[in-house]
A and B are shown apart, each in its own frame.
Chain A
C-alpha cells in the first residue's frame, strides 16, 4: 500500500528565509506526487505536481519540489518565504496503477512565519 510521511509537524521560519518541507513516500513504482496548501478556513489548493520527466518541478507562489527516487522523497522548497505562506502543507501520492484516482495524504506540516 502507498503511504506518505511528513516528518515535520510544525516549522517556524523568519520572513525572507528559505524553506524546505520534507516528504517521503512509499510505493512500489514511480508514483504521482503532489503538494497541496491549506490556508486557515480554506480548502486545499494544488501547489505543484510530479508525474514524470524533469525531477525539479516548479509550482505556483514561487514553490518548487524535487523528486529523488533514491531517497523516496519529494521535498518542497521556497528560497524566500512571505508572511502569506503561513499555512498547512500536505504532500500526497497517487497511484496510477490502481486504475482509480484517489490520493493518499501525509499528515501535513504547519508553517509559521515570524517577522
Chain B
C-alpha cells in the first residue's frame, strides 16, 4: 500500500497567480499521476510525472500551464500557472506501487487539493 500526503489540502487564490501542490508518498512508487476533478465531474488525467524527466501530458494539458516536477521516487509537484476561475478544481495525486496497477489492481490516491480561484 501507499500513504500519500498532499499539500495544501485547500487554497483560495487570485486570478493570474500560480500555486504549487506537493505530493509526498511514504514509499517508493513506480508511477505517479496528477488528476483533476472539476466540480460535479469525474477525474481527468493531467499527466504522468516521470522521475528525472519531463512529464507526459494528456491531450488538452500543456507544460506551460501545468508544470510538473518529480525529482525522486517519492515526491512530485504540480503547479497551476496563471490561474483563472476555470482552474477551480480538486487536484489529486495518485501512485502505482511496485508490482504495477495491472498486477496489484490499485491506484492509490491522495486526499486531493481543493483549489478555488477568484
**Complex: how many Å from CA A42 to CA B100?**
23
Decide: A105 near B43, CB < 8 A? Known: A43-B109, A49-B105. yes
Cβ-defined contact, A103 with B106, below 8 A? no
Provide the residues of chain B in CB contact with A49, threshold 8 Å.
105-106
Provide the residues of chain B in CB contact with A42, threshold 8 Å.
111
Cβ-defined contact, A41 with B105, below 8 A? no
**Complex: how many Å from CA A72 to CA B112?**
31
Tell me which residues from 78 to 118 in chain B have a Cβ below 8 Å from any Cβ of chain A: 92, 94, 96, 100-102, 105-107, 109-112
Cβ-defined contact, A44 with B92, below 8 A? yes
Answer yes or no: B45 CB below 8 A from chain A CBs.
yes
Answer yes or no: B73 CB below 8 A from chain A CBs.
no
Chain B proximity mask over A20-41: 1 for CB below 8 Å, otherwise 0: 0000000000001010100001
Cβ-defined contact, B48 with A44, below 8 A? no
Cβ-defined contact, A32 with B102, below 8 A? yes
Provide the residues of chain B in CB contact with A34, threshold 8 Å.
105, 107
Tell me how many residues of A have a C-beta within 8 Å of chain B. 23
Size class of the B contact interface (CB-based, 8 Å): 20 to 34
Distance in Å: Cβ of A8 to nearest Cβ of chain B: 13
Decide: A90 near B105, CB < 8 A? Known: A43-B4, A43-B112, A101-B96. no
Decide: A102 near B112, CB < 8 A? Known: A34-B105, A46-B106, A107-B41. no
Cβ-defined contact, A103 with B101, below 8 A? yes
Distance in Å: Cβ of B39 to nearest Cβ of chain A: 12
Answer yes or no: B33 CB below 8 A from chain A CBs.
yes
**Complex: how many Å from CA A101 to CA B98?**
12
Chain B proximity mask over A89-102: 1 for CB below 8 Å, otherwise 0: 01000101000111
Given A43-B112, A44-B109: 16 more A-B contacts, CB < 8 Å: A34-B105, A43-B4, A43-B92, A44-B43, A44-B92, A51-B102, A51-B105, A90-B43, A94-B101, A96-B102, A101-B31, A101-B96, A101-B100, A103-B107, A104-B45, A107-B42
Interfacial residues, chain B to chain A (CB-CB below 8 A): 4, 31, 33, 41-45, 48, 92, 94, 96, 100-102, 105-107, 109-112
